Structure 1
Amino acid sequence: MIRDRRGVSETVGFVLVFSLVLLTVGTVLTVGYGGLQDVRDAERVNNAQRAFDVLANNIEDITARGAPSRGTEIRLAEASLGRGEPTILNVSADWSSSNFSTGNDSLDSIVYEAEGTQIRYAAGAVTRVQSGGSVMLVEPNFVLSDQRVILPVVELVVEQRSIAGSRTVLVRSVRTNREVELDRGVDQFQLNVTTPATDAWEGYLEEEGMNCTRPSDDRLSCSIDDLDSVQLVRFTIEVTFG
């Protein structure tokens, strides 16, 4: 009888130890897999940010350094890339004898989207937009001071399609027009921006010395007075995906 009880005890002990091992392995796999997923998602968005930094530099080659075209490769990795919600830009200026306004310019955007996060290139800037707000990753090539403003308006005409999956997309940008629309001193300069990345634009424009208010959640109205020189140059750039 003593031998039988000892055998039962060893069997029960083995079952308990084996169950504990299975529980530990299962917990590690569950928690570890979730952590790996988080790391993968974060790295995927970080890679997109780096690619959009290159995209911004390439488009600046077109607007600031006279290049006729540029190509940028962006790896999707289970994400989507395409034309997104536009940024609406309205630029106006007043001086003693007259005034100027661009009207509401609808500027196309290039948007990478994965897991509820958007990386956007629009109006010369790269922003990251999430449910909690937005941040500016690459500032537009504006010159804003208390004496002069140089404002390149980057008007993208983006191919109307979206690409999803895990592939590398070639984003090709080609300049089709360059036009100086305003070049003079003004009494008041006003810039209105309607964008999903309002937080990012507000922080940037106020840091550059403009006075900004928010007429609505997605709209900014910013101004600066008594400028010796305002230069507004429009670049029209066609964007295709390959």
Structure 2
Amino acid sequence: MRAKTNRAVSDLVAFTLVFSVIISMIGLMTVGGVGALDDVREGTETNVAEATMLGYAETLADQRASDAPRRSTTIKLQGHGLERATSAISVTVDNGSGTPVDGKSLSTSAFVRSTDTGTELVYSNGALFRVEEGGFVVVRLPPIRCDANSAHLPLTAVRGSVNVSAENRVTLRSEVADRSLVYPVDASDASADSVEVDVRNTAYPEAWERVFEERLPNWTGSNGVYSCDTDRAVVHRTAIDITVVN
């Protein structure tokens, strides 16, 4: 009888230990699973935010290149923040006269969307960068082109008091405020020997350095200053006013 009792106690203890181990494993799997789901959710939200900003960059590019003076774009911020940041670029054209033409800093500003994971999506002069803790990714290249025959630098300046954070959708109204020809100054002779671009005062100059050093052909230089030899150059700047409607 005592042997049966001892066996029953042993079986109960063994069952309790096994059950405790199973419960502990389930708990660990649950915690790990929740963390993994959170990572997936955050990654998905960031990817959606990137796609949204890429679409908005395409809208501004289309507006710059077309005759449409006004556009309205609705985007879902998902609780993220969107604000205009300071950014400027300098363009100098050497036309062989001995005196470089223009060289002043041209304000273009930038749009920065900050996510709740710390990722920032930066629209700057036609380019789009995804900036994270471990570095950055060039999502969209700027519409800058240069070769031995010609150089074309269309600059896009975003203006307006934009600083908004919302869970739902907001509408951004964009209106072309000004189109100006930076070079050639007299709109007739576009001849040039070289074009120099200084990106040291842009938003996220490190990203711009990668663009000129690795992604755009025919440019040489380093540390934020780059040049391209060419026979003619056209530089123009389009200023677009951005207003948050709701």
Q: Does 1:93 align with 2:93?
A: yes
CA distance, structure 1, for counterparts of residue 203 and residue 183 of structure 2: 27
Identity %, equivalent residues = 28
Which string of whole-angstrom CA distances, capped at 9 and with x for unpartnered residues, describes residues 135-191 of structure 1?
211111222222211111111103242314x32222222111111121311123110
The 5 A counterparts of 1:214-225 are 214=223, 220-225=224-229
State the partner residue of 2:194: 188
Pick the aligned partner of 1:240 from 236, 240, 243. 243
Deviations 1:79-135 (A, max 9, x none): 222223x22201111223343225122322111112221101111111111233322
Unaligned runs of 5+ in 1: 215-219
Corresponding position: 1:208 with 2:214:
no
TM-fit CA distance, 1:205:
2.0
Kept in 2, the 8 Å contact 1:134–1:197? The answer is no
TM-score normalised by length of structure 1: 0.89
Q: How many residues align?
A: 234
Aligned-residue offset at 1:35: 1.1
| Aligned equivalents of 1:53, 1:161: Cα separation in 2 | 19
Residue 150 (structure 1) aligns with: 152
Work out the CA distance in 2 between the residues paired with 1:17 and 1:74. 53
TM-score by length of 2: 0.87
SS in 1 for 2:170: strand
Larger strand percent: 1
Pair 1:8–1:196, CA change in 2 (3 A): farther
Letter in structure 1 aligned against 2:12: T
Give ranges in structure 2 of 5+ residues lacking alignment.
Answer: 185-189
Displacement of 1:196 in angstroms is: 4.5
Across the aligned residues of Structure 1 and Structure 2, the Cα RMSD in angstroms comes to 1.8
Q: Secondary structure of the equivalent of 1:186?
A: coil
Secondary structure at the residue paired with 1:100? coil
